[in-house]
Amino acid sequence: MNKNKVYLEALLNSDNKVITELYKINFPKVKSFVIKNSGRIEDAQDVFQKALMQIAVRYKVDKFEIKSSFEAYLFTVCKNLWRKELNSSKNRVTNHYIEEHTNENSQIAESIMVQKRWELFTEKLSEMSIKCKELLDFYFSKLSYALIVKQFNYNSEAVARQAVYKCKMKLKELIRKDIRYNLLSKS
């Protein structure tokens, strides 16, 4: 049994020994990410726990396979959960007398959908040409077009913008052709 499957089965079966190992290996990186992004240690613990629970629930439902390392997958789930938390806290209005509780099951379901969309995106990105992957990596990292011109030896920023646009359209086309796209976009 491969390492990813061992971890997934351990989560499903609440194997404390393996889960403790996961914490030791992965929590420091998640804690660092959350703290660097306006969080506290308690936030990192919550995100890490939610991520493990989300992965276990998803694995119980559809026995998916992790194509990268489990550690990379777990970290991505944690990052997505923390970003979602930051975005929702920006939109949250607090009232000392009324506290709204959201259904935890719907949060888990929504998080799973976000993760499945991310997986589709990264899978289709990996199918693109090396040049497009590198170009979109620069673009998604929010690097300036001036830097893209320099890195890829384009004649101007207009040419760089056109190249980014073509690669983005190709990526959208790949994603939309996938049968999972309609299922994931309706949810």
Q: What are the structural domain ranges in the chain?
A: 1-89+100-122, 127-187
Question: Average pLDDT over the chain, rounded to whole?
Answer: 83
Q: Is 110 exposed, middle or buried (0-12, 13-18, 19+ CB in 10 A)?
A: middle
Helix axes of 130-140 and 104-126: crossing angle, nearest 10 degrees: 140
- At 18, the pLDDT band (50, 70, 90 cuts) reads confident
CATH of 1-89+100-122, one of 1.10.1060, 3.50.50, 1.10.1740, 1.10.3470: 1.10.1740
Q: Are the CB atoms for 55 and 7 separated by under 8 Å?
A: no
> Which phi and psi (to 5°) does residue 6 adopt?
-60, -45
d(CA 63, CA 49): 20
Can you give the C-alpha Rg of the chain in angstroms?
A: 19
What does the alpha-carbon distance between residue 42 and residue 34 come to, in Å, rounded to a whole number? 10
pLDDT at 103: 56
User: What local confidence, expressed as pLDDT, does residue 91 receive?
Assistant: 47
Mean pLDDT, range 158-166, rounded to an integer: 90
